[in-house]
Structure 1
Amino acid sequence: MAKMKGGELIANYLVQEKMPYVFGICGHGNVGILDALYDVRDKIQLISPRHEQCAGHMADAYFRVKHKPVATLTSTGPGSANMVMSLATALSDSSAFMAITSNVPTSQHNRGPFQELYAHNQADFAQVLRPVVKRAFQPTRVDMLPLALRQAMDTMVTGRPGPVNLDIPYNVYQEEADVELPQASALHCAHRPGASDADVAATLNLLVAARKPVLFIGHGATLSEAGAEITEFAQLLGIPVITSPNGMGCIAGDHPLALGFIGRNGAYPANEAGRRADLVITLGTRFDDRSSSSWQDGYSWNFPKTQLVHVDIDPQELGRNYVPTVGIIADIQVFVRQLLTALAARADITAAAYAPWLGQVQGWQAEWETFVRPHFGDSTNPLRPEFVVGTLQKVLPEDVILCLDSGVHHNWFMQFWKARRPQSMLNSWGYSSMGFGVCGVLGAQLAAPDRPCVAVVGDGGFTMAPYVLCTAVEYNLPVVWIVWNNFAWGAIRDLQYGLFNGREIGTAFYKGQTGERYNPDFAAWARACGADGTTVTRPQDLAAAVEQALKNRRPCLIDVHVDADVRPPSTGTWQLPPIPYKEPVFGKPWVA
């Protein structure tokens, strides 16, 4: 064994685990590890954004694109407290990164020093993060670090991925001990359990009895990189596929069998197929309220009348909201491969049995297209939302990584965007955090430096994190932000209009009491930071502005003025108890 400082041990372990980046911000609490990172700066780069929450969102998005984790580094007190939002976002969406937080020296525990939380236990910050991480570790000596580092790495990537916290007293960074680097983790996404033969057979037997089957795929399918297998299985039997936002791209969005998202702001064919199916095989989804029309029977699903095969790597998600006919703990890619292998020996399962059902689904697709397509060509000022989505679909290349923030624009993209590749549409779905899209696109660009990375963000969300422009310029990241500018917290204002008879308060951006709409000049803001900036108020200018931004390969912000009075058509419902849920704008609920 060699004597090593704690900071040196951590830095070398991150290098050993082939983490190319640490996203973090300096502070007195972590200054003791910065010198160790300086020594390995040729192997691991410290990227320092202007806010800790941004560092977490960057690490989250990096994992979603690359499926390999990186680390974040924050100081004691407020710096680490700023990580709560990004850790909650990652945990909710099964994304992984190692959050290294710093704490007060062990010699000062429970003495109430600067930035210690001690009301219930000494150096208690790890308890703050417990609800928003998969596991929290707090090694208080250098010789405790090897085990904590290895266990944190394994926990983060095994089974359902999730962020972990290493909370380290800052004396541990500088103290020495006789220690060795822990052995490199052998569990990086390699733990892929399969289903039993009995469960595979039970699934196929349900398919024999079914006449109206659908697949419902989510982030579990994306994380297992099962897109090719799912597409093959769906094509082999002609089974339509419904996707959650984080499952989009596993089957190409423009594939004839892809029905899109389900729920209130889902596509009509998805809701119709979901509520009328007699068998649902769900692969890596949770059936949360937004993808199930708040569990109202007949709006998106009809369980238990519909048979349900629920497959997930996390046993806690099986039966959380709907009791499955067959519940299976398995990796999605492994399970679908098992189905394909077993299907080869089953002559009693053919696409012909489902052909009438597929014809019915195609009729709903045509009906929906007839309803929505005319507005994609509308030339209005300000721009119609459908026009913006449609133009970006045409202009952005196939390999684009689209990073979406929370807001009304996200509803439009869930409904109409057709992701053509897996891991190419990044959403804060489970926690719906403003700032994820604004900041996360920086991490996506670092994960995929040769691909165009575009964030579509609301005007409200962007003003929460405008410092991202500084980071993009500092590190020469050619990210493009498209600001969906409707001069309002549009999604919430629409709820006021729909549920409270238009009694609007606190949701529109006005200058003083004048009633004049107000937002900063976002394009000028970008230029002041050293990025490119342009404003689009005419529909004929949007495509050219986006094409030029992609061609320039420089940080760029495009401020797009979007019509605030056009709302996504609901095809399911969503309830805010005890406020009654609304009937769909298009389509009708159906109970068998």
Structure 2
Amino acid sequence: MKMKGADIITDYLVKENVPYAVGVCGHGIVGLLDSLHERSDKIKTISVRHEQAAGYIADAYYRVKHEPIVTFTSCGPGSTNMVTPLAGAYMDSSAFLSISGNVPTCQFNRGPFQETGRYFQGDFPSVIRSYVKKSFQPTRVEMVPLAVRQAFKEMTNGKPGPVNLDVPFNVFQEEGEAICGEPQDYRWNMDQRPQGNPETIRKAVEMLAAAERPLIVAGYGAILSEAGKEMVNFASYMKIPVHTSPMGKGIIDETHPLCLGPTGRNGAYAANEAGKSCDVLLALGTSFDDRSTSAWLDGYTYSMNTTKVIHVDIDPREIGRNYPFALGIIGDVKLVLQQLLQLAKEQFADKKPDYSAWHKRIEEWKSIWYEYKEPLLNSNAQPIRPERVIGDIRKVLPKNGIFLTDVGVHHNWVVQFWDTYEAQTILQAWGFAAMGFATCGVIGAKLAAPERTAVALCGDGSFMMTPHILATAVEYNIPAVWVIFNNFAYGSIRDLQLGYFGGRELATSFIKEETGELYNPDFVALAKAFGVKGTRIEKPEDLADAVEYGIKLNQPYVVEVIVDRDIKPIGTGTWVLPPFKHPEPNFKPGR
């Protein structure tokens, strides 16, 4: 049976139950668009106003649902606009299929309109080499079935990540033999969850039993494994406290008695104190990156000179990447936790280890942090304190509502002050940290879970990177709420400048050059121009009601909040940018 290359691709997307294709048109991708038109009863095509938006939408969709969708871009600038969201998804282990159009193969090396590569023909795959798990470039129709089939397997096998399918213009249109096969024959029937070595599992249980101050750290790998239930069951049975990496927020209800909150410079006080005091650390799906560990400096988040690490990860490259380990377990976190619990129940049926002295110390740290946080979450200060913004959104967002935070200084307060109750309900751009992720990603969250509320907290800087997403929300009637944290600055970089360069700043505050007046566009008027309702909030007592109104409106809605720009995030840990000396934590108990 002969089929066009574009039809081979879209037919396989239908077989994989892909519900959405998101992107921007261009001459290089029109062949695929025509095929999607023919299958519009199976796949909904969403047109956005910038390719970055498509990537962020697809990224957020996967983080909520753990199922990939596809993006489409044209050759040249259309596809290079996709580089940043691909990098963000790759660094945070999120998956989507990026289909990029390219110039016709017969024009390779002739420098046709929008060909990428002067010395290498049609070379968009090299542009994104560092930011995808793999890039496929079928140059004949007969190569398409294998490429698209392997692309889906690559995306979700092991550690998830984005994959690129780069298709020359003529390959979309030409016909060839199409034997694509069925997903169940090549992907669905494969068990991708390896267990840990039983002997190593036994050693891990013995180490935890012998410990005086055991601790669990759960990272984003535990969320990707959907291991929340298993982790809570094991931690509860053994009575081992849990802290998380910032990306691990939600794997355990942060109001759970065993949860200490997230780690790092802007982590919770109890989380960092426990981390540097524990003697055995069970690490579940975490990479121990610099921001979650106080830049690997001993004695701030961890004291690895005196702590024994049991590191569990599905990717062996992560084990021992940043810290030495006593035991390394290559396996799926969910299954490894099942093994640990089963063995613990067998060994400690009569008497479990006693960690009561350790729990007493932890409760003291938690109490100190709670007494610090609560007044700030309810502060009536004006301009509005950043902590009040976080607290009021949390009050009105349902427990299973999806909260996205964009990149900026506000993200620091989110890590510290936002209580997450369920996994996959907080979405953050962490590793690559590109502004615009939440601004656009909130649309992807609503597509993945249309029955749930979705709110994006965006800095004024990050929102202005991709404000055109409001047009997409109106076009497709996607109800989402954007809360714009207006402090008239790229605030986190402004704070770095002030701290490292003697109080000087340049190009970080939004100021009219002639008058020195703080400046931002009228965000409510901007939203209105897109056809979106909105309100500006300056008094703390009006904030929660405004966000709640936007949620109940069930339409796109913008809430602009004027925030005190002079308040700096508190540091319970540290971070370092060599050669500068790291700052000492400025959180002091009782102050």
Question: Which bracket does the TM-score occupy, shorter chain normalised?
Answer: over 0.9
Shift of 1:510: 0.7
State the SS of the aligned residue for 1:220: helix
**Structure 2 segments unaligned to the other structure (5+ residues):** none
Q: Is the 8 A contact 1:399 1:451 kept in 2?
A: yes
Distance across 2 between alignment mates of 1:342 and 1:560: 52
Q: Distance in 2 between matches of 1:393 and 1:66?
A: 22
Match of 2:543 in 1: 542
Determine helix, strand or coil for the equivalent of 1:294. Answer: coil
Aligned residue in 1 for 2:435: 434
Q: Which residue of 2 aligns with 1:411?
A: 412
Partners of 2:561 and 2:397 in 1: CA distance = 16
> Displacement, 1:352?
4.9
Matches within 5 A, 1:285-300: 285-300=286-301
* TM-score normalised according to structure 1 size: 0.97
Query: Residues 53, 443 of structure 1: CA spacing in aligned structure 2 closer, same or farther, 3 A cutoff?
Result: same
Alignment match, 1:200: 201
Output the CA distance in 1 between the equivalents of 2:159 and 2:524. 40
- 1:170 matched to 2:179? The reply is no
Return closer, same or farther for 1:345/1:297 CA change in 2, 3 Å cut-off: same
The CA distance in 2 between the partners of 1:397 and 1:410, in whole Å, is 20
> Secondary structure of the residue that 1:214 maps to in structure 2?
strand
Match for residue 119 of structure 1?
118
Shift of 1:183: 2.1
Q: How does 1:77-96 map to 2 (within 5 A)?
A: 77-96=76-95
- Which residue is equivalent to 1:241? 242
Which residue number in structure 1 is paired with residue 38 of structure 2?
39
Deviation per CA, 1:13-39: give whole Å up to 9, x if none.
Answer: 101100000011110001111111111
Structure 2 Cα separation of the partners of residues 197 and 346 of structure 1: 14
Counterpart of 1:499 in structure 2 is 500
Match of 1:317 in 2: 318
Q: 1:321-400 residue pairs with structure 2 within 5 A? A: 321-347=322-348, 352-400=353-401
Query: Letter of the aligned partner of 1:493 in structure 2?
Result: R
Q: Distance in 1 between matches of 2:388 and 2:262?
A: 19
Q: Which amino acid aligns with 2:382?
A: N
Q: Name the % identity.
A: 51
SS at match of 1:517: coil
Give the residue type in structure 1 aligned to 2:39. Answer: V
- C-alpha offsets along residues 464-515 of structure 1, whole Å, 9 cap, x if unaligned? 1000100000010001000000001111111122222221111111122211
Aligned to 1:150: 149
Change (3 A) 1:194 1:352: closer
List per-residue Cα deviations over 1:429-454 (Å, max 9, x = no partner). 11111011111111010000000000
SS at match of 2:295: helix
Separation (CA, whole Å) in 2 of partners of 1:562 and 1:348: 54
Q: Deviations over 1:235-267 (max 9, x none)?
A: 112211111222111100111211111111111
Q: Which moved more, 1:139-148 or 1:509-518?
A: 509-518
In structure 1, C-alpha distance between the alignment counterparts of 2:485 and 2:411, rounded to whole Å:
10
Q: Taking structure 1 as reference, are residues 187 and 245 closer, same or farther at Cα in structure 2, changes over 3 Å only?
A: farther
**Which residue is equivalent to 1:489?**
490
How far has the Cα of 1:377 moved from its partner? 2.1
Residue aligning to 2:70: 71
Residue type of the alignment partner of 1:83: M
Q: With the length of structure 2 as denominator, give the TM-score of the two structures.
A: 0.98
Q: Which moved more, 1:49-58 or 1:239-248?
A: 239-248
1:378, distance to aligned residue in structure 2 (A)? 1.7
Residue deviations 1:379-410 (CA, integer Å, cap 9, x gap) = 12210011111111211111110011100110
Corresponding letter in the other structure for 1:152: A
Question: Which residue of 1 is the match for residue 223 of structure 2?
Answer: 222
List per-residue Cα deviations over 1:86-140 (Å, max 9, x = no partner): 0000000000000011111110111111111233321111111110000111111
Secondary structure of the residue that 2:27 maps to in structure 1? Answer: coil
Q: CA deviation at 1:528?
A: 1.2
Q: Any idea what SS the aligned residue of 2:552 has?
A: helix
- Cα distance in 2 for partners of 1:418, 1:206 equals 31
Distance change in 2, residues 1:533/1:128 (3 Å): same
Structure 1 residue matching 2:548: 3-state secondary structure: helix
Q: Show the counterpart of 1:28.
A: 27
Equivalent residue, structure 1, for 2:51: 52
Q: Which residue of 2 aligns with 1:518?
A: 519
- CA distance in 1 between counterparts of 2:545 and 2:421 reads 22
User: Does structure 2 conserve the Cα–Cα contact (< 8 Å) formed by 1:304 and 1:322?
Assistant: no
- Structure 1 residues not aligned, in runs of 5+: none
Q: In 2, distance between residues paired with 1:89 and 1:344? A: 41
What one-letter code is carried by the residue in structure 2 that aligns with 1:187?
Answer: R
In the alignment, residue 216 of structure 2 is paired with which amino acid? L
Render the CA deviation track for 1:140-185: whole Å, top value 9, x for unaligned: 1111011111111101110000000111101100000121233215
Query: For 1:196 and 1:430, how far apart are their aligned partners in 2?
Result: 30
Please identify, of 67-76 and 255-264, the stretch whose mean Cα deviation from structure 2 is larger. Answer: 255-264
Work out whether residues 312 and 331 of structure 2, in 8 Å CA contact, stay in contact via their aligned partners in 1: yes
- SS of corresponding position for 1:252: coil
Alpha carbons 2:100, 2:165 under 8 Å: kept: yes
Paired AA for residue 62 in structure 2:
F
Contact 2:383 2:539 in 1 (8 A): yes
Measure the CA separation in 1 of the matches of 2:558 and 2:15. 37
Q: Secondary structure at the match of 2:347?
A: coil
Name the CA distance, whole Å, in 2 between partners of 1:99 and 1:171.
18
| Aligned-partner Cα distance in 1 for 2:467–2:352 | 51
Deviations 1:545-569 (A, max 9, x none): 0111111100001001111111111
Q: Give the drift of 1:372.
A: 2.8
- Which residue type is aligned with residue 89 of structure 1? G
The aligned residue for residue 533 of structure 1 is: 534
The 10-residue stretch of structure 1 (351-360 or 235-244) with the greater mean CA deviation from structure 2 = 351-360
Contact in 2 for aligned 1:7/1:32 (Cα 8 Å): yes
Name the CA distance, whole Å, in 1 between partners of 2:317 and 2:507. Answer: 38
Provide Cα deviations, 1:274-296, integer angstroms capped at 9, x if missing partner. 00000110101000000111111
> Judging changes above 3 Å, is the alpha-carbon distance between structure 1 residues 587 and 276 closer, same or farther for their aligned structure 2 residues?
farther
Query: C-alpha separation between the residues in 1 aligned to 2:226 and 2:187?
Result: 16
Whether contact under 8 Å (1:208, 1:349) holds in the other structure is no
Any conservation in 1 of the 2:95–2:156 contact (CA below 8 Å)? yes
Report deviation, 1:351: 5.3
Q: Does 1:183 align with 2:182?
A: yes
How far apart, in 2, do the equivalents of 1:318 and 1:41 lie? 44
Give the C-alpha shift of residue 349 in structure 1: 9.1
SS of the equivalent of 1:11 reads helix
Q: Secondary structure at the match of 1:62?
A: helix
- What aligned pairs does 1:267-286 form with structure 2 within 5 A after superposition? 267-286=268-287
Q: Contact 1:267–1:571 (CA<8 Å) still a contact in 2?
A: yes
8 A Cα contact 1:490 1:507, kept in partner? yes
2:320 maps to a residue whose letter is G
C-alpha distance in structure 2 between counterparts of 1:352 and 1:172, whole Å: 64
